[in-house]
Structure 1
Amino acid sequence: MARALALMVCLLGLVLSTQVATSEARAFFVFGDSLVDNGNNDYLATTARADNPPYGIDYPTHRPTGRFSNGLNIPDIISENMGTEPTLPYLAPELTGQKLLVGANFASAGIGILNDTGIQFLNIIRISKQLEYFQQYQQRVTTLIGAAQTQRLVNQALVLITLGGNDFVNNYYLVPYSARSRQFSLPDYVRYLIPEYSKILARLYELGARRVLVTGTGPMGCVPAELAMRSRNGQCDPELQRASALFNPQLVQMLGQLNNQFGSNVFISANAFNMHMDFISNPGAFGFVTSKVACCGQGPYNGLGLCTALSNLCADRSKYAFWDPFHPSESASRIIVRQFMTGTTEYMHPMNLSTILQMDNY
């Protein structure tokens, strides 16, 4: 009897230590919009989804996964660099048990900082709901490994959040004389967005996030969709470029204020604008034949409408900076993540991801 009891205790200890060991691998959490959505919108009644071919044509399964990419997206490539498996969408039924310890992707295409951003897409997971799901996730993990271990897993995790672009292209500039553009001048709109974003990030901190990679907006006026609608000569739209130029510096300033408030470098800013402009300005230097024409689409610059099975499709996706009218190709995403990992302060402030991973590797 005593031997059997000792064996049971030993086995229980082994199971618990295995769970703890599994949680030692750094968890990864993702919040935001279509640039980082790994497929949550596939489970929702929304038009903002990437569940039809040719999406996923270069993914390992060669099938659409809900990622707005021909293959892997930015979170996948970050996971690859961290040596971990990609995070599953939070709504995926297979996100259970040990898979929860890898982290979760809460992102949803179409959302923004503001709740009225993306209303045309109907049923999407607004950022407040993503944060609610993060709380729910922690409750689920607590039943697996206990409250103390869950808190440790969350505190030591890497978090990526990508918001802001849709607040311009799918809100302020969505239609001429939109409600928000009648309410605010562009500088005032940016001044309204930044404190709203600050509240979201402070809430992430309250929920236990201690290393948060925050991406600014890319050069919104240069994406094929905006070239098709706004450009006569293939030049980036100056008005959307001005929006990025106003938003991004104020975002960096706000992150600095939050870090001062919390007494450490919780929030790391990634200059997505500079990262994109490198290959938009000089596509040939990065192996691209074009940074204006999307690989998949129709109309000028393949920038109109959605990428579908009926769209024009380029033969070699690695030669295109943009996969569809709004989203980078896997090749471009790899260039962006390379700057996340090793970029100078021109791209990553106050430090890059490799430095963070080394510092936190205790």
Structure 2
Amino acid sequence: MMNSGVNYASGSSGIFDETGSFYIGRVPLKQQISYFEKTRALILDAMGEKAAAEFLKKALFTVAAGSNDILEYLSPSMPFFGREKIDLSVFQDSLVSNLTLHLKRLNQLGARKYVVADVGPLGCIPYVRALEFIPAGECSASANQLAEGYNEKLKRMIHKLNQEMGPESKFVYANTYEIVMEIIRRYRQYGFENALDPCCGGSFPPFLCIGIANSTSTLCKDRSKYVFWDAFHPTEAVNLIVAGKLVDGNSAAASPINIRELFQYQWK
């Protein structure tokens, strides 16, 4: 466990505890951090307090959340956690402030190196395009603007945390939005043949990928030629490109430093 890392990610979960509540068994970010707290206790028992603190100081903590929260906000059939939708700017601010609390909790538990991902171009995913009846070859401008607004506030928060908690802690902003948008805009130059349709899914709406629940579901012949795997997620081919840019790319991909530089970062 301590040599290979631990993954607490949970499908359908979000920054807010309520996100994904209609799904069974999802684990909110707050609970994921509680699970890490239990892992930390095991590390302390195995290594002792001083060695454990040094171990956690060198570890990378990746936090990628927010997309599901925004998708629920966008869904017309889902009032925001059972209430009328709140103002967009208030919603974005609430997301960022809640995430800030989670990051500070991780800091209290010994985390020092963070990779915090923004949300991708949600207006381009097949689910949102079908939901809003977006014409072929286009993305939802309103959904992308919502994501961009959140990302801008997130980036400012990351900068503020670096000022307040540095140099003892280092936060990296992972700009997945721009990386994926670049792939969508120039998909053929990246070796893809389809930028916006899902490799796996029904004819309309493309919400479900295979299974008896979706009799119209089909599977493309070569998923490596598609940007999107299903209605929500990019393919492995896209994820490999994104990962490469975040690890070794310039400040347009990851800032203030990339992931490799974060891994090598030494405190003076």
The TM-score, its normalising length taken from structure 2, stands at 0.91
Return 256-265 or 321-330, whichever deviates more: 256-265
Write out per-residue CA displacement over residues 305-360 of structure 1, whole angstroms, 9 at most, x where no aligned residue: 23448631111111111111111111000010011112221111101112223334
The match for 1:259 among 137, 140, 162 is 162
**CA 240–192 in structure 1, closer or farther in 2 if over 3 Å, else same:** same
1:274 matched to 2:175: no
- Give 1:155's aligned amino acid: K
Aligned 8 A contact 2:64 2:118 in 1: yes
Q: Give the match for residue 4 of structure 2.
A: 102
1:303 to partner: Cα distance = 2.4
Aligned 8 A contact 2:199 2:228 in 1: yes
Q: Give the match for residue 245 of structure 1.
A: 148
**CA 122–101 in structure 1, closer or farther in 2 if over 3 Å, else same:** same
1:135 to partner: Cα distance = 0.9
Gaps of 5+ in 2: none
1:177 to partner: Cα distance = 6.7
1:204 to partner: Cα distance = 1.1
Q: Give the match for residue 305 of structure 1.
A: 208
1:209 to partner: Cα distance = 0.9
- Give 1:278's aligned amino acid: E
Q: Give the match for residue 340 of structure 1.
A: 246
1:159 matched to 2:65: no
1:175 to partner: Cα distance = 2.6
Q: Give the match for residue 77 of structure 1.
A: none
SS in 2 for 1:340: helix
Matches within 5 A, 1:148-297: 148-169=50-71, 171-176=72-77, 178-179=79-80, 182-234=84-136, 235-264=138-167, 266-297=170-201
What is the CA–CA distance in structure 2 between the aligned matches of 1:178 and 1:239, rounded to whole Å? 18
Provide the identity percentage.
Answer: 27
The TM-score, its normalising length taken from structure 1, stands at 0.68
SS in 2 for 1:305: coil
Q: Give the match for residue 20 of structure 2.
A: 118
1:245 to partner: Cα distance = 1.4
Larger Rg, first or second structure (1 or 2): 1
Aligned 8 A contact 1:307 1:324 in 2: no
The alignment yields a C-alpha RMSD, in angstroms, of: 2.0
What is the CA–CA distance in structure 1 between the aligned matches of 2:26 and 2:248, rounded to whole Å? 33
SS in 2 for 1:355: helix
Write out per-residue CA displacement over residues 141-177 of structure 1, whole angstroms, 9 at most, x where no aligned residue: 22322232222211110111101111111x2122347
Matches within 5 A, 1:71-90: none
Aligned 8 A contact 1:290 1:320 in 2: yes
**CA 352–314 in structure 1, closer or farther in 2 if over 3 Å, else same:** same
**CA 258–361 in structure 1, closer or farther in 2 if over 3 Å, else same:** closer
Write out per-residue CA displacement over residues 240-261 of structure 1, whole angstroms, 9 at most, x where no aligned residue: 1111111001001011111111
Aligned 8 A contact 2:96 2:157 in 1: yes
What is the CA–CA distance in structure 1 between the aligned matches of 2:247 and 2:24, rounded to whole Å? 35
Count the aligned residue pairs.
262
